[in-house]
Chains A and B, each alone.
Chain A
Amino acid sequence: MSTNSIVVKDLRKTYKVPEREAGLKAAIKSLVARKTKDVHAVDGISFQIEPGEIVGFLGPNGAGKTTTLKMLSGLLYPTSGELSVAGHVPQKREREFLQQITLVMGQRSQLNWDIPAIDSYDLYRAIYGIPQEQFTQARDEMIEVMQLKELVKKPVRNLSLGERMKAEMVGALLHQPGVLFLDEPTIGLDVTMQRRIRAFIQEYNQRYKATVLLTSHYMADVQALCKRVIVIHHGKLLFDGDLTALVERFSAQKTLVLTMSDMNGRTPDMAKYGTVVTQEPNRVVLRVNKSDAPQVTARLLADLPVTDLTVDDPPIEEVIESVFDAPETSE
């Protein structure tokens, strides 16, 4: 795992999709003259990920995240651009390359449903040619960390979604890949399971210095695992940098949380300070423009019996939403 870096230069993937208007006439017409249109799923993105980094790959549905991950793992041939993963060109799908990567798709299963996961792991050992000692140690450790000891002995179809996902993760990492592409690995899981999967990814990354590119719609995943995020939308790169910088750049507002001493039944008019998110007798949450925050804070402190006041960025979900609403400009 010496060079687990990922280099992407001006990557593009264009699909030709059939285009047809509704109705019988259009259906008949399409028999003789088929129309197609180009859909640019990935439209000239570039980035570089250093060995051992965990990077969040964000974007709304249809942004091009999965297409990019598929190109990075060699499942899709790029229309143009340059790719290098762990020193290999993914689309060549060389054995050495495939030994070093894994792609986990949260909604897809790789394990054989009819047999216990532990038997499927044996097939992975044989396919990857993992030495028995290495395999047994890695498998047993991962099973322990994921708390799967009894579950791996049950047929996969008898496992819950969360249990299955944990078993899938173990299977995907048995060959100890240096580059992990994780596409929504926590989708549909409850909070406890999400946390466990996250901890497992973090542990694996630290232990093996593995490079991780992770897509997730759960911002808790991103916040817990990724210092850096790459945001794409309509196939174009919108942002590449620290998560904190993303919030700083795209969050136009601040959240003020005030706690006040007893107002003797009086309800102050908070709307004049900003947008009221919630208002209780002694506690108010306000949303104000970032540039106005210092003056509003000063006025609140002067006008009201404030006992506590915090100034926060809005939730990351809201920030991301505003990123997707932002004009398309790549950097």
Chain B
Amino acid sequence: MSEIATPVQPQRAQRYGLRNYLQMYAVAARQAVIEQLQYPAANMMFMVHILIEPVIYLVVWSSVANSQGGAIGGYTAAEFAGYYIIWTLVRQFNLAIGPQGFHWRIKEGRLAAELLRPVHPLLPDLGYYLGYKIPQTIYWLPMGILLWLLFKPEINPVAWQIAAFPVVLMLAFFVRFFFMWLLGLVCFWTERVDALFELYFAAELLFSGRLVPLEVMPVWAQNVANFLPFQWTFYFPIEVLLGRLDLPEFWPGVLAQLAWIAGGYTLVRLIWKLAVKRFTAVGS
């Protein structure tokens, strides 16, 4: 460094404003794109892995619908096809850091490094996972088209539903992002949380519309689902693009998504403080 004549002196005590935050999200998103585009083969395999689940549901429920006289829970076989094909896109969008990722982060000392940076670790994560959607959508497209051609789905959205879909899709991501983060924070207290995670994912599977559209579930399950965040991350955005929701059903859904985002965010903030307190008390 001595060869260089005039060092630029570091500028301190600058206000870290909205522009900085937006720049940080953009850079983190860009990193995710760079990272994901490096592994096309691995990502295609991951996509195939993700598609196995909905394709099984699709085949099973289409058969059940056909055997029940053409429909079950108001869904025809073609509507089931539409439901699960949209499911695959929604699944790509609501992917967020899982608890295992959080555990790895703590174990590898990555979290300690992140705690030494002057922004909350959640924020670069948010940018990263937003950027992650771009390559994943690119990888999804050929699979989505293939499924479409194979299963000939029936979806009937009108213009506003098509326009609203990207919005509710993003809101679905935010709901899931905050709750995944919340779940990850458990790792600050104990490393042996697999049972809890399994329970959480089982609940998500049942009450989110991931396994089956909620209308097909018993009434008690639908009632339980109303008190949980899960349906707003799968079922609701799928229903919007399927064209099955009217405006009077749509707006309460958006409000519910916003409420769960606010709730998730508040809980993350509260528990984060306790988690950091614990981390700084016992170390990594």
Contact: A123 with B124, CB < 8 Å?
yes
Chain A residues within 8 Å of B118, by CB: 95, 98-99, 127-128
Kindly state whether residue A155 has any CB partner on chain B within 8 Å: yes
Contact: B108 with A115, CB < 8 Å?
no
A30-78 residues with Cβ-Cβ distance < 8 A to B are: 67, 70, 73-77
Instruction: State how many angstroms separate the Cβ of A30 from the closest Cβ of chain B.
Output: 16
Kindly state whether residue A134 has any CB partner on chain B within 8 Å: yes
Chain B residues within 8 Å of A115, by CB: 31, 34-35, 38
In the complex, residue of chain A having the shortest beta-carbon distance to the beta carbon of B24: A126
Chain A residues within 8 Å of B116, by CB: 73-75, 98, 101-103
A77-B280 contact given A95-B16, A114-B35, A133-B8, CB 8 Å threshold: yes
**In the complex the two chains form, what is the Cα distance from A162 to B12 in whole Å?**
31
Kindly state whether residue A268 has any CB partner on chain B within 8 Å: no
Name the segment of A104-112, A290-298, A301-309 touching the other chain: A104-112
Kindly state whether residue A176 has any CB partner on chain B within 8 Å: yes
Kindly state whether residue B67 has any CB partner on chain A within 8 Å: no
Q: Which secondary structure dominates where chain A touches chain B? A: helix
Contact: B112 with A108, CB < 8 Å?
yes
Kindly state whether residue B109 has any CB partner on chain A within 8 Å: yes
Contact: A96 with B13, CB < 8 Å?
yes
Chain B residues within 8 Å of A126, by CB: 20, 23-24, 26-28
B1-53 residues with Cβ-Cβ distance < 8 A to A are: 1-2, 4, 7-8, 10-14, 16, 20, 23-24, 26-28, 30-31, 34-35, 38-39
Contact: A15 with B282, CB < 8 Å?
yes
Contact: A91 with B1, CB < 8 Å?
no
Report the count of interface residues on B (CB-CB < 8 A).
41
Kindly state whether residue A255 has any CB partner on chain B within 8 Å: no
**In the complex the two chains form, what is the Cα distance from A120 to B16 in whole Å?**
19
Chain B residues within 8 Å of A142, by CB: 1
In the complex, residue of chain A having the shortest beta-carbon distance to the beta carbon of B16: A129
Report the count of interface residues on A (CB-CB < 8 A).
53
Chain A residues within 8 Å of B28, by CB: 123, 126
Q: Interface code B103-137, partner A: CB below 8 Å = 1, 0 otherwise?
A: 00000111011011111000010000000000000
**In the complex the two chains form, what is the Cα distance from A73 to B112 in whole Å?**
10
Chain B residues within 8 Å of A124, by CB: 117
Contact: A76 with B283, CB < 8 Å?
yes
Contact: A1 with B1, CB < 8 Å?
no
Contact: B8 with A137, CB < 8 Å?
yes
Chain A residues within 8 Å of B115, by CB: 74-75, 93
Kindly state whether residue B195 has any CB partner on chain A within 8 Å: no
Kindly state whether residue A266 has any CB partner on chain B within 8 Å: no
Contact: A122 with B27, CB < 8 Å?
yes
**In the complex the two chains form, what is the Cα distance from A113 to B34 in whole Å?**
12
**In the complex the two chains form, what is the Cα distance from A108 to B284 in whole Å?**
12
Kindly state whether residue B281 has any CB partner on chain A within 8 Å: yes
Q: Interface code B157-187, partner A: CB below 8 Å = 1, 0 otherwise?
A: 0000000000000000000000000000000
Q: Which 4 A-B pairs have the closest CB atoms?
A: A176-B10, A108-B109, A126-B24, A98-B118
A-B contacts, 7 of them at CB < 8 A, read A75-B115, A76-B280, A110-B110, A112-B35, A128-B117, A134-B10, A203-B1
